[in-house]
Amino acid sequence: MKQNKRDLKLFKFGVVKLSLLLALILMIASWMFVYKVDHADFLGLFSAKNAFYSKKFLKGLLGIGAKSPAFLSIDSWQVALKLTYETLQMSIMAIGFATLGMIFTVIPAARNATNGTLTVSKKWYSQILFGIIRSAYIFSRAIPELVWAMIIIFVFKPGILAGALALGIYNFGILGKLCTEVVEDLDLKPIRNLASCGAGTGQILLYGIIPTVMPKFMTFIFYRWEVIIRTPIVVGFVGAGGLGQQFKFSMSYFQYSELSLLLICYLLLVAFADLLSEGSRRAIR
């Protein structure tokens, strides 16, 4: 026993040391790769040409030299705010899709539901279902939302729905992972009680599981929504609607003052979302 414990300690110490070593090797190899193969040149960044372009870009953003900077015209503001509103709708739709997907899959994806300790009944197909859903979670969260958007744009026409779907798929995996952990950490005693009183699977779900996990689920949903609100601009780049699409257009047409207007709207949206989700989280606490 003592021997075992010492072995374990040694193993743990070894893991930490090895990880540090591996991290160091990775860092050195990566920087060497970036410098040698991709010819990164740090000092070359400070060339006169770059300085000229940076200056021009910054001036453009601030609207210096432009005849009518976009952030001073009411029409541009109206367009930008409408896009912001669309972006907000897209983010809500996205978190809605993700939540719906998560709610339907979270119970079969929890380990304690699969081996029958949660619902006190074990089905032959639960192992298979567990495997499928878990791999779906891993897949959907390993692939970034932008890549999802790139694929989805092949099927759906550009617009809010395409963006919302891409964001929804990506966040479905993350929400699923977070929420299965909540279900797996459930205190089983109340459920045992319910089961011994003769409650069926549906009743256990309704009275035993949902009330306990709901507050935590809400926290996660709000947390993901806060993240999602930052990303519609990204899926917009591939034409999935909202602020991002306009951002890309303005970039391509070198209308930099419009760009800063869009950035202002974007920051306002992010701040608004942070406030809202903070408030609601406090309300359910």
Partner 1 sequence: MEKLHNSLDFHKRTLLTGGLILVFIWSLFSIKWGPDLLHPGGGTILLQIIKALFHPNLSSEILKLSLISAWRTLAYAVAGMTLAIAFAFILGILASGVLAKDKPGRLISKGILRGLLGFMRAIHELVWAWLFVASIGLTPFAAIFALVIPYGGTLGRIFADILNDVPEEPISALKSSGASKLQLLLYGYLPFAKTDMISYTMYRFECAVRSSTIMSFVGLGGLGYQIQLALQDLNYNDVWTYLFFLVALVVVIDFWSNILRRGLVE
Rounded to the nearest 10 degrees, what angle do helices 160-184 and 145-152 cross at? Answer: 130
Q: Binding of partner 1 at residue 58 (CB under 8 A)?
A: yes
Looking at beta carbons only, is 153 or 195 nearer to partner 1? 153
Can you tell me which of 21, 40, 128, 275 binds partner 1, judged by CB under 8 A? 40
Looking at beta carbons only, is 15 or 128 nearer to partner 1? 15
Tokens of 65: 């030299």
User: 244 near 204, Cβ under 8 Å?
Assistant: no
Taking CA atoms, 42 is separated from 24, 33, 37, 49, 162, in Å, by 21, 14, 14, 14, 39
Binding mask 155-194 for partner 1 (x = CB under 8 A): xxx-xxx---------------------------------
Task: Report 194-223 residues binding partner 1 (CB under 8 A).
Answer: 214-215, 218
**Choices 62-70, 82-90, 104-112, 183-191 (CB under 8 A): range interacting with partner 1:** 82-90
Task: Report 123-142 residues binding partner 1 (CB under 8 A).
Answer: 138-139, 141-142
Residue 131: CB atoms within 10 A of its CB come to: 12
Looking at beta carbons only, is 76 or 231 nearer to partner 1? 231
Looking at beta carbons only, is 133 or 195 nearer to partner 1? 133
Interface size with partner 1, residues (CB under 8 A): 72
Q: Tokens 């205190």 sit at which residue?
A: 187
Task: Report 233-272 residues binding partner 1 (CB under 8 A).
Answer: 233-234, 237, 247, 251, 256, 263, 266-267, 270-271
* CA quadruple 174, 176, 179, 181: dihedral, nearest 10: -90
Tokens of 182: 């909540």
Taking CA atoms, 6 is separated from 12, 14, 19, 20, in Å, by 10, 12, 20, 21
